[in-house]
Amino acid sequence: MSETTHPLLPMALLERAAETLRILAHPHRLRICELLLEERVPVKVLTEQLGIAGNAVSQHLNIMKAHGILGCEREGKTVFYRVIDPRPAWLLGCIRGHGQDQVDTASGRDGTAREK
């Protein structure tokens, strides 16, 4: 076994991280978080922006709310959701960075020529 240059993370921390990743590991849930990072949004608007059935949106929202990722507020008949956990913003930042790396590599902007 090779030696690491940094201390290993505690297993409890890795377990919590894995649970968060499991909850967020769905494209619609990631998109919901992306939409909710800047402002609170009503369910109807989320449904329109995602282009999926309202019951599917509600299921995703309920899962993330149950795990403390989202919070909601009711104003009359309208329910607004917002991100209350900082981890989705961090994860989306990692995805953006990794995605840009893939775009740069595919387009040859990393200094290497690409053959088709």
Q: Which of 61, 66, 73 is nearest to 29 (CA)?
A: 61
Q: Which of 71, 75, 77 is nearest to 39 (CA)?
A: 71
Instruction: Return the CATH fold of 19-107.
Output: Arc Repressor Mutant, subunit A (1.10.10)
Other Cβ atoms closer than 10 A to 20: 17
At residue 72, the 3 state secondary structure works out as strand
Summarised one tens digit per residue, pLDDT across range 55-91 is: 999 999 999 999 999 999 999 999 999 999 999 999 9
Q: Which of 9-13, 79-83, 97-101 is least confident?
A: 97-101
Q: CA geometry: angle at 60 spanning 49 and 43, to 5°? A: 45
* Residue-range domain boundaries for the chain: 19-107
Residues 6+ apart with CB under 8 A from 87: 20, 24, 69
pLDDT interval class at 116 (50, 70, 90)? very low
Strand order from edge to edge, sheet including 70-75: 41-42, 78-83, 70-75
